[in-house]
Structure 1
């Protein structure tokens, strides 16, 4: 829909009637894109207010840009990536320029190749790269009208792209009735009705009667200046009705009035023409060949349908298009149910099942007057294809409709379980509960009921970490045992992980006992079998009994199949920690990150990054750890799901910046405590204990450490014990210290690793005197020096130096204190460094207070530092973009700013500007050779 433009007086069109400011904004948007910048804009407002006219304006203004246009269609909302396909079809020849995982993702979702479901954010990244690549040739304008009717998969992908645009010469402009959920936060332009003067002008252009000023004012007021209403409402009214003002006496809402205007025009058309309009309304693509073939099935010919025209409501060109989306909805809703069934059936019959089986299945479903097993089966197959293309919401919709059309009760129960599971994955928990209830109601076997209850339990856990979820999962696991051994064992392990995450001691014990009672694995135990046995033994029989099995599990986890990493790998993150194997911990965590990246499972990536970030803190590579935090934050911003602050807590505590750390610790304790998340509280208390020990505030460190050592959590509760021992020893509470030392010995001695033995020796030395203490401190330093745990080694030197000073061995004390001080400074542990400096001063040595002096890198923003670290480690611009969800051109843009801030001119110089931690490779860098190159590109 368009309406007249106003003129500058010299014949030059300067914009739409009454839309000077809106057109100026759009002009500025196009100018920015011409200058090499990117823009995104959501143009929103009521139906008929002129959004499409503004989109037409910006498209016509951008005559030197390449324009891609797509339209959301209401009846196509359940077909995954339908709108995205419309938009990207002209660019498919450029898929070959994308990195292989991104190319494969788009080829899969567009049906070019078969494959497993790519993650939605990998698809978004692929679209970003595709648009960026296309804009290298010519600036790009992407227009999506009726965005409120985009399918969810397309909306998520395009919303992701719009948030990541920066320096690609791409504009992405949406027209929508409302700001859709997936487009929230984007720049927006609200379009309201025309002002009185412009509305008068437009109304005069379509009325032939002289209107009384009061009547004119009333019409403008009642239409609220809506251009489509002003153009459409006078249609069909007599001169008398218009002049007298009686044509607007009905009380419908404005969209209802506009639609009623269209309905009146539709009713005046011949039957054959109305049927043609109905077929076109039910056909979402606008393919004239398909429309006419379906029309022929119903006996509608061009001659009979178009003899008198369509009153401007429908036009045939390369595509079949309606005058306005309200025409489509008016046509469809005004038709009888029987006519709608007939139209969809005709469309199904002319849709090629080999080319577009899913759209055919959807038409068949819309044509079904009642339950129909053949159609339900088709929908079930379509759900599988949709899920393979990454369209979880579409898969859920297909399965939900399949359930409604299923006759056989038992089969309906199976399909309802699948629908509940897909709906849960799609994020609609309320609908998932509904279909889980249907599955439970219709179940005809114990196995069906157990599967229904499994979905219910997972929903309960996903909804709000429900404290009842572990016991629910345990019950389901027991019920599944007779029917599906592997599913039962996976459920047991997930139940164990849920109880550990909730720090639920009773559930953890009950689940562990149940896992111990499982039949022994036949043949060579798999990783799943070893993890189940080891985790169960850890709780029921103690660490000494569990360690041999857990060590075998660590070996098996190194080659864990990707399917298992993605399905239950989150539960076993602490297996290597349980046996104090720091090398295996870094290896397993690094591999998990690479697996989820390769698989494109970016929703799982924050959990894996958290594990890798924690591993980086243990070795003192704070830059790499901070990079994982930044990457996880990037993903959280893209997905809208906040991550756990565990790595941030650990980093802030080790750095020792009290104000920053205390604020984060307090906020986490408050939020996690209110949500009943004991794990979050425990990690925060552990961080507080580390912070206060570094600051020498032992009276505060001791209760914090105590709070984190008595939760039913097998890892954090042990990691906090050395903090409790050190604080209690300094406070002079020997009983608390010795009780904690006994627990630490039980956890560390069976493992017999340098990490375990080093920490245990250091802790024992704190409670020893004379020669035994000296031997223990030396043993601790010797053991920890064999590891890469630099913070723990530095702390061993500090404690030994403090002990030597008190023993009046000042010269040797200075050596160890100086070593500790230099190590703490190089790592960035400011509070511990200051503690070491004070001890050095007490030995009589003059020590100039040093901090991490400001460097040029401090001027970098967090994202710039993240990019700089990755480039320093040899990543190319496309590789950096893949990790950070940026296009290569945006990475290049950031890199130029980084070079300016660091006063360097090449990528090689980043190695000197941002040196790695001593003997500590970046945790962010994968193994293998890295390309060299000096340009910002």
Structure 2
């Protein structure tokens, strides 16, 4: 029987509390629950020792391991591949889309670029299935050096673990961990207290130790276990007798590096060369190391002194005593020695099986610019892009640029690398590379492109005002140099102008439209994006009615053939917003879904939060509030993974539709402050609209009126201003300000008549009905219900029935009113529009009919996620299909369904629909 955690405490003096925490993870896994913990601390503090303790304490568990390696080479998903390698015999048992995505990401299968989130779901399913027979313990050491794609995928997975009996423990250095781990449970490892430090020091020293030296070492080590173990090795016999010369001016880490360097310098030259070669090869491939050693002219005996010195172990893989040893072995060598090691590794690497790693080693072996090697790196970038590895592609292009002899080609590759970094969400890296490129000889075209990329970084990272001027300036510079690129930049500038809206400190949408007009007029051929830009330009220059035909043509184009990544990232959000401004809910949904799918497929994390946000608004207008809530949670996780600070517009809209003031009011207030400070006018308008919607639902019409006025005040903020007009009509009528309502309706009517869709005309009829009496009002209400009933915007239909029912009650037609109010109440309750449901309930009560308030008992205490899963299961979806839709594992779906069955008092799926209907939940 494996020893329990308590029996292992003596192995880690002073770590009782930490070991208890780790033992709790093991206990959770044995009980069938998942757990995650991020262990943080300085180098040498004992993070790896705690992982080893956990591995020893987890008897009966299957252990998977991966360790990040400090290297300039980043291969997408390489760390994830290493972690999942023992489970890949189950790859073919995954759902086919997941298996294909993961296989492509790992280079095991050929295929199109994989969906980044499908990869995450595949890993989640793989771990879940791997934990069916026994708990799974995943240990990630030196996570600060994992490749970006692996870190982001693991961050996605750990936030969706629930009942999989999977424990993931991530060890990372203080201050060097990725933002991917933000918000996860963490444990900060501090230095050992003096009694434990003294015990460890005595155990590490064979002979007698002068008390003065012992006290000095304890003081210098600050409880760092590696320092306590290593400092006595680094001191001379004189220092051990009389104490080290005070003071030691450098940091503890620098002193540990110096100590390891001393030990390296005592080795024979062949051993140092072997350590250097091993340090330059991040895989830890022993066979490759020996092939490279033969290429470099030294044999296996070179490893002996290094192993005897305790600096390296050569077993199935290469294992260094500590990452500091690897770092010292590599960086203490001079440049010529490092190049020799990389050259040997390149010659030992198979050009067919591992061309990317070979190209990387060739690049580091090069003494001069070399176009052949640069071209190989560029080909590696293309392969990385095909596997969804934008960060890896950027690294290859960056290195290719360094080796490019021709200055113009070098600048081009630097700009290509910066563009990949922008799409990967590595904004600081992109700006640094652009600064480097700016010091070189750039053509006018390349300087303009540099401005464009800086604008894209500014817009993707903050959506603030500065992006607009950068992008517009770049577009004007590009116009005489590259018309297509100029139009792309005008498209970016238009998107930035729409975000800046009322708070634009310089040019706004009208100025961008005017500037783009000349470039559009002289273009020989208009691409999809150009058509969209032209339509939006006409919208601002000539008005809504004139622009509608052009805008419709543009959104049809974006709903057609396959799009490139550039088209998806640059134009799809704008196309979706235009569709909503045209009141075309079907095109809005199609374009939004396509935008999300394309962004996920290409791994463009910088664009993902925006694509998901648009999806949330499609869902809330369609009455799919549970799906919207899931997407809001995904936005939070993705924003962390992509290091994106996009304000949670989606959370504001969802809370407003739900009618929960306690949730919505703080979100709206926080957003208003942040967005105003950042110059993001469209967000300010959205917050005002959300406030108006919330207050209309709560029957607080004066407050709704004030907010709706602000939301509708800037027609240039397309989409949101339309929604603001709708709220303004209702609020003004109920607040007794008829003139305001009439004026708002007149503005609304111009657009809805030009649009002519059922959504537009239905909302217009509903708004107009509130301004009339008698038969005319009734005809308009009926028209609104008929038209909106043919659309997917269920929330608009709920409100039309509510308003008609309220009007009938005021007309004294209680029986007819009940039918409309009952339908509105039931639909609003089902959807989760609680404020409007309560408003309908009160109106029903005024007719003499009582309806239940939505309570915990009414919903049988089902959570939002349980209810969503229950509905999907009732529609016939399997557990894997439900998991794929909600980004959770099939086992988590199974766990939720067991809880649903218990709450609904049923035992099989066949009774789900009936039980949900009986509980008014279907």
Structure 2 counterpart SS, 1:852 = coil
Q: Is it true that 1:716 corresponds to 2:717 in the alignment?
A: no
Structure 1 counterpart SS, 2:755 = coil
Q: Is the 8 A contact 1:262 1:327 kept in 2?
A: yes
Q: Deviations over 1:237-293 (max 9, x none)?
A: 566643443488755443344333333332222222222222222222233332233
Find the counterpart in structure 2 of residue 376 from structure 1.
374
Q: Considering only aligned residues, what root-mean-square deviation do their CA atoms show, in Å?
A: 3.7
Q: Is the 8 A contact 1:206 1:231 kept in 2?
A: yes
Find the counterpart in structure 2 of residue 364 from structure 1.
362
Find the counterpart in structure 1 of residue 756 from structure 2.
752
1:761 Cα deviation (Å)? 3.2
**Separation in 1, partners of 2:767, 2:301:** 94
Structure 1 counterpart SS, 2:233 = coil
**Separation in 2, partners of 1:338, 1:665:** 59
Find the counterpart in structure 2 of residue 707 from structure 1.
710
**Separation in 2, partners of 1:916, 1:95:** 41
Find the counterpart in structure 2 of residue 312 from structure 1.
310
Q: Is it true that 1:573 corresponds to 2:576 in the alignment?
A: yes
1:819 Cα deviation (Å)? 1.3
Alignment of 1:122-161 (within 5 A): 122-161=118-157
Structure 1 counterpart SS, 2:313 = strand
Find the counterpart in structure 1 of residue 233 from structure 2.
235
Q: Is the 8 A contact 1:209 1:243 kept in 2?
A: no
Q: Is the 8 A contact 2:491 2:570 kept in 1?
A: no
**Separation in 1, partners of 2:88, 2:67:** 18
1:886 Cα deviation (Å)? 2.3
Q: Deviations over 1:781-827 (max 9, x none)?
A: 45445445554445445555655666xx523x651365135413431
1:461 Cα deviation (Å)? 1.6
1:351 Cα deviation (Å)? 1.8
Find the counterpart in structure 2 of residue 815 from structure 1.
816
Q: Is the 8 A contact 2:828 2:836 kept in 1?
A: no
Query: Is the deviation greater in 301-310 or in 152-161?
Result: 301-310
Q: Is the 8 A contact 1:413 1:438 kept in 2?
A: no
Find the counterpart in structure 1 of residue 341 from structure 2.
343
Find the counterpart in structure 1 of residue 694 from structure 2.
691
Structure 2 vs 1, CA of residues 869 and 417 (structure 1 numbering), >3 Å: closer, same or farther?
same
Query: Is the deviation greater in 709-718 or in 246-255?
Result: 246-255
Q: Is it true that 1:867 corresponds to 2:886 in the alignment?
A: no
Q: Is the 8 A contact 1:433 1:456 kept in 2?
A: yes
Structure 2 counterpart SS, 1:74 = coil
5+ residue gaps in structure 1?
923-937
Structure 1 counterpart SS, 2:431 = helix
Structure 2 counterpart SS, 1:173 = strand
Structure 2 vs 1, CA of residues 24 and 482 (structure 1 numbering), >3 Å: closer, same or farther?
same
Find the counterpart in structure 1 of residue 266 from structure 2.
268
**Separation in 1, partners of 2:258, 2:484:** 59
1:557 Cα deviation (Å)? 3.9
**Separation in 1, partners of 2:834, 2:5:** 67
**Alignment partner of 2:81 out of 82, 85, 90:** 85
**Separation in 2, partners of 1:372, 1:86:** 32
1:905 Cα deviation (Å)? 2.0
**Separation in 2, partners of 1:383, 1:460:** 25
Structure 2 vs 1, CA of residues 784 and 198 (structure 1 numbering), >3 Å: closer, same or farther?
closer
Find the counterpart in structure 2 of residue 725 from structure 1.
729
**Separation in 1, partners of 2:39, 2:660:** 45
1:459 Cα deviation (Å)? 1.7
1:421 Cα deviation (Å)? 0.9
Structure 2 counterpart SS, 1:69 = strand
Q: Is it true that 1:678 corresponds to 2:667 in the alignment?
A: no
Q: Deviations over 1:455-508 (max 9, x none)?
A: 122122223223243344344345545665554444333322222222258531
Structure 2 counterpart SS, 1:70 = strand
Q: Deviations over 1:133-164 (max 9, x none)?
A: 22234432333333333333333333333333
Q: Deviations over 1:155-201 (max 9, x none)?
A: 33333333333322323233434371233443444444445455444
Q: Is the 8 A contact 1:650 1:687 kept in 2?
A: yes
**Separation in 2, partners of 1:240, 1:651:** 71
Structure 1 counterpart SS, 2:877 = coil
1:883 Cα deviation (Å)? 3.2
- TM-score using structure 2 length: 0.88
**Separation in 2, partners of 1:23, 1:287:** 32
Bigger Rg over Cα: 1
Structure 2 vs 1, CA of residues 207 and 772 (structure 1 numbering), >3 Å: closer, same or farther?
closer
Q: Is the 8 A contact 1:580 1:755 kept in 2?
A: yes
Q: Is the 8 A contact 2:105 2:387 kept in 1?
A: yes
Query: Is the deviation greater in 728-737 or in 477-486?
Result: 477-486
- TM-score using structure 1 length: 0.87
Q: Is the 8 A contact 1:437 1:452 kept in 2?
A: no
Structure 2 counterpart SS, 1:416 = helix
Structure 1 counterpart SS, 2:169 = strand
Structure 2 vs 1, CA of residues 412 and 691 (structure 1 numbering), >3 Å: closer, same or farther?
same
**Separation in 1, partners of 2:839, 2:206:** 90
Q: Deviations over 1:294-346 (max 9, x none)?
A: 22333323356748975333333322333333322232233233222222222
Find the counterpart in structure 1 of residue 70 from structure 2.
74
Structure 2 vs 1, CA of residues 847 and 367 (structure 1 numbering), >3 Å: closer, same or farther?
same
Alignment of 1:207-356 (within 5 A): 207-235=205-233, 241-246=239-244, 250-303=248-301, 306=304, 310-356=308-354
1:596 Cα deviation (Å)? 5.4
1:205 Cα deviation (Å)? 4.2
Structure 2 vs 1, CA of residues 562 and 409 (structure 1 numbering), >3 Å: closer, same or farther?
closer
Structure 1 counterpart SS, 2:910 = coil
1:449 Cα deviation (Å)? 2.9
**Separation in 1, partners of 2:545, 2:899:** 55
Q: Is the 8 A contact 2:712 2:720 kept in 1?
A: yes
**Separation in 2, partners of 1:337, 1:141:** 40
5+ residue gaps in structure 2?
none
Find the counterpart in structure 2 of residue 436 from structure 1.
434
Find the counterpart in structure 1 of residue 903 from structure 2.
901
1:16 Cα deviation (Å)? 0.4
Instruction: Say how many residue pairs are matched.
Output: 908
Alignment of 1:579-728 (within 5 A): 579-590=582-593, 592-593=595-596, 604=607, 606-633=609-636, 635-636=638-639, 641=644, 644-711=647-714, 712-728=716-732
Find the counterpart in structure 1 of residue 11 from structure 2.
16
Find the counterpart in structure 1 of residue 553 from structure 2.
552
Structure 2 vs 1, CA of residues 781 and 336 (structure 1 numbering), >3 Å: closer, same or farther?
closer
Find the counterpart in structure 1 of residue 827 from structure 2.
826
**Separation in 2, partners of 1:565, 1:459:** 17
Structure 2 vs 1, CA of residues 270 and 864 (structure 1 numbering), >3 Å: closer, same or farther?
same
Structure 2 vs 1, CA of residues 544 and 262 (structure 1 numbering), >3 Å: closer, same or farther?
closer
Query: Is the deviation greater in 484-493 or in 329-338?
Result: 484-493
1:231 Cα deviation (Å)? 3.4
Structure 2 counterpart SS, 1:857 = coil
Q: Deviations over 1:712-747 (max 9, x none)?
A: 222221222233233333444443333222212211
Structure 2 vs 1, CA of residues 647 and 259 (structure 1 numbering), >3 Å: closer, same or farther?
closer
Query: Is the deviation greater in 714-723 or in 813-822?
Result: 813-822
1:665 Cα deviation (Å)? 3.4
Structure 2 vs 1, CA of residues 720 and 196 (structure 1 numbering), >3 Å: closer, same or farther?
closer
